[in-house]
Amino acid sequence: MVKKFLELLSNDEVQAIHAASIKVLEEIGVEIENENAVKLFAKAGANVDFEKKRVYISEELVKEALKKVPSEVKLHGFDGKHNLVFAGKHVYFNPGSTALYMLDRETMNMRRPTSKDFADFVRLTDYLEHMHAQSTAMSVSDVPDSIVDRFRFYLILKNW
C-alpha cells in the first residue's frame, strides 16, 4: 500500500511564504519584551534596537539556526506508549493553546473559560482518537493570573 500525503501548498507557494517571512524578520523585525532574550539575539548576530526591544533577524541567521535544529524531536507520553516523534512527514493533532474566550455551548454567548471548562475539554480531548496531544488550550479566568499557567498544567494532569 502506498501512503499518500496531503499537500495543501505547492513548493512554489511554500517558497513564497518563506521569502515573505524572511522579509518580515529582516525589515519589520520582532518585538521581544524579555531583555535577556534580546541580548541573546544580539550576541547571535541579530540587529537589535534595545530601546524599542525590536530584533531584526537576517536570512543568514535563520539558516544558521536551522542547521542547529535537531532533525527529530520526541515528546514522551505519560505511559511511554503514546510518544510523538516530530520528524519527516509525521502529522499530529493538538487542540491549540491559550484561548482567552470561548463560545458557551448552552447560552451561545462569548465568555472567559473557567477551570471546569478546561477540565471538561481535557477529558474530551483524551477521549478523541485522532487527537495526539494536549496543550493548555484555554486561559482559565477563575484562578489568579500569577498561577494560571501552572494551574492549567495541573488540570491536564488531574483530568487526563
pLDDT tens sequence across 12-62: 999 999 999 999 999 999 999 999 999 999 999 999 999 999 999 999 999
- What domain count does the chain have? 2
Give the pLDDT score at 5: 74
Residue 91 CA to residue 34 CA, distance in Å, equals 32
Q: Are residue 142 and residue 114 in the same domain, yes or no?
A: yes
Inter-residue contact 112 to 100 (CB < 8 Å): yes
User: Which pLDDT band, with edges at 50, 70 and 90, does 1 fall under?
Assistant: low
Question: 87-119: string of b/e by CB count within 10 Å (b at 16+)?
Answer: eeeeeeeebeeebeebeeeeeeeeeebebebbb
pTM, entire model? 0.63
In a domain, 27, yes or no: yes
Instruction: Give domain status of residue 150, yes or no.
Output: yes
Q: What percent of the chain has pLDDT over 70?
A: 98
Closest CA to 30 of 17, 43, 14, 42: 42
Look at residues 67, 68, 31 and name the one whose alpha carbon lies nearest to residue 50. 31
Report H helices in the chain.
11-23, 35-44, 59-68, 115-127, 148-159
93 and 151 share one domain: yes
Banded model confidence at residue 96, pLDDT cuts 50, 70, 90: confident
Same domain as 22, residue 58: yes
Mean pLDDT of all residues belonging to the chain:
91
Cα–Cα distance, 62 to 37 (Å, whole number): 16
How far apart are the C-alpha atoms of 74 and 85, rounded to whole Å?
4
Q: Which three cell numbers stand for residue 56?
A: 531584526
Has residue 97 got a pLDDT over 80? no
Look at residue 80 and tell me if it is in a domain: no
In a domain, 1, yes or no: no
pLDDT band, very low/low/confident/very high, at 83 (cuts 50, 70, 90): confident
Host domain of residue 30: 11-68
Do 56 and 96 share a domain, yes or no?
no
